[in-house]
């Protein structure tokens, strides 16, 4: 082998070595890209890199953009089909821009929550975290970050605030009712006011107070409409209704639907009532009446509705501590127990009296 052959062989070995190194580097790069793609795929949201401009023009978008925005990555990159900035709710765009630019001026990462309009027109609440990325290639700096859907969390918080506000309003109204009733002695007016407040506070189709008279229940007060025959003074058989069951058992009765075997179905269907809640009114230990509410849809009542109705029942029972405010029939029937009256409100054992909102 002459010198030329040696040189060629050495060059071949060098080429083979460089080819092996390049193949190894490509293999490592491919594996890194595969791992990165897997991580991006498993992220509950969209990773991105974008330019710092009014449209937040995307340079890179992960596959999470499709479930988040309804647009594929290729639709967003370079504003090819739509600019990401146009997806931000118009009322939130200034807030997003101000938050981002304030953080950039302070050389800090940013976090911002805002509404996003998807390709289908669905409004989502999203949370975004990002930071400036400096580039040395002469290109302007960019933002890199992550955006995820937090609609359920925001809506849950809004619902909680709404329910707290509702209960605050209801309790305030309840205190006003008690103050108003403290100056009234007419038992019929007292019961009518409580029936009307029960209907408004719980937001139902009807509310009524019933008083037992022998083997019947007499409508003592009524707010709303319950069937064609129901009116103040109307008497119905004690044992043919869920209301009667509440009185006879001395316990709260909640009817969630017309499928409940305890109800007198025809009466509820005629009244267009599909769910009902009844709480017995006690004189001493004896149930003498029922406060009842009904709704036109099934599964209408929550535990806090039960607690609110129980408070109204308590107000009514407190009024009955004054003999002149007792129902006429109950006054005759229970006069011998007048000095032993105590107020109780029996709740279902399967639920606590109060529950967290």
The domain that contains 67 carries what CATH number? 3.30.450.20
The helices-and-strands tally (H runs, E runs) of the chain is 11, 11
Mean pLDDT, the chain, rounded, equals: 78
The answer on 182 and 133 residing in a single domain is no
266: closest CA among 242, 244, 247, 298?
242
> Are residues 57 and 178 both part of a single domain?
no
For residue 320, the domain's CATH number is: 3.30.450.40
Angle ∠(296,157,198) on CA atoms, nearest 5: 35
Q: Are 65 and 186 within one domain?
A: no
Q: Tokens standing for 41?
A: 């795929």
C-alpha R_g of the chain: 35
- pLDDT, tens digit, for every residue of 216-237? 888 898 898 766 667 888 888 8
In three-state secondary structure terms, 262 is coil
Confirm whether 35 is domain-assigned: no
| 148-173: b (≥16 Cβ within 10 Å) or e | ebbeeebeeeeeeeeeeeeeeebeee
Give mean pLDDT, residues 281-308.
84
On whether both 203 and 123 belong to a single domain, the answer is: no
Task: Please check whether residue 6 lies inside any domain of the structure.
Answer: no
Domain boundary among 149, 184, 203: 149
Does 315 lie in the same domain as 176? yes
Counted domains in the chain: 2
Q: Are residues 232 and 302 in the same domain?
A: yes
Domain span at residue 98 reads 43-149
Same domain, residue pair 336 and 220: yes
Which range has the worst mean pLDDT, 77-81, 113-117, 290-294, 316-320? Answer: 316-320
Stretch 21-40: mean pLDDT: 64
295-324: per-residue pLDDT in tens? 888 888 888 788 878 877 877 766 665 544
Q: 331 and 195, same structural domain?
A: yes
Joined tokens for residue 267 = 């009466």
pTM: 0.49
Look at residue 251 and tell me whether its pLDDT is greater than 70.
yes
Q: Does one domain contain both 306 and 186? A: yes
- pLDDT tens, residue by residue, 47-59: 999 999 999 999 9
Q: Quick one: pLDDT at residue 184?
A: 58
Structure tokens at 223: 């707010």
CB 50 within 8 A of CB 142: yes
| pLDDT average, residue stretch 330-353 | 38
Residue 321 CB neighbour total at 10 angstroms: 13
C-beta of residue 274 within 8 angstroms of C-beta of residue 258: yes
């Amino acid at each position: 082998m002459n010198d030329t052959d040696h040189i060629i062989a050495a060059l071949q070995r060098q080429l083979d070595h460089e080819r092996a190194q390049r193949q190894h580097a490509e293999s490592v790069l491919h594996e890194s890209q595969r791992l990165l793609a897997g991580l991006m795929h498993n992220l509950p949201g969209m990773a991105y890199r974008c330019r710092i401009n009014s449209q937040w023009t995307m340079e890179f978008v992960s596959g999470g953009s499709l479930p988040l925005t309804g647009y594929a990555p290729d639709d967003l990159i370079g504003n090819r089909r739509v600019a990401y900035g146009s997806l931000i709710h118009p009322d939130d765009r200034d807030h997003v821009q101000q938050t981002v630019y304030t953080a950039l001026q302070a050389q800090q990462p940013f976090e911002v929550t805002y509404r996003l309009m998807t390709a289908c027109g669905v409004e989502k609440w999203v949370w975004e975290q990002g930071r400036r990325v400096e580039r040395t290639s002469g290109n302007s700096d960019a933002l890199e970050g992550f955006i995820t859907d937090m609609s359920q969390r925001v809506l849950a918080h809004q619902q909680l605030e709404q329910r707290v506000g509702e209960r605050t309003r209801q309790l305030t109204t309840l205190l006003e009712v008690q103050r108003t009733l403290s100056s009234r002695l007419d038992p019929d007016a007292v019961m009518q006011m409580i029936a009307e407040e029960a209907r408004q506070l719980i937001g139902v189709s009807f509310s009524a107070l019933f008083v037992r008279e022998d083997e019947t229940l007499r409508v003592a007060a009524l707010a709303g409409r319950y069937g064609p025959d129901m009116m103040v003074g109307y008497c119905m058989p004690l044992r043919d209704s869920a209301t009667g069951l509440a009185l006879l058992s001395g316990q709260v009765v909640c009817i969630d639907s017309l499928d409940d075997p305890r109800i007198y179905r025809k009466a509820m269907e005629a009244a267009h009532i599909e769910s009902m809640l009844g709480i017995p009114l006690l004189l001493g230990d004896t149930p003498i009446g029922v406060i009842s509410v009904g709704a036109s849809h099934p599964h209408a009542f929550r535990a806090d509705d039960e607690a609110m109705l129980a408070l109204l029942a308590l107000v009514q029972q407190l009024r009955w501590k004054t003999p002149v405010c007792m129902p006429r029939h109950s006054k005759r029937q229970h006069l011998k127990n007048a000095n032993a009256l105590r107020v109780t409100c029996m709740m279902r054992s399967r639920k606590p009296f109060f529950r967290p909102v």
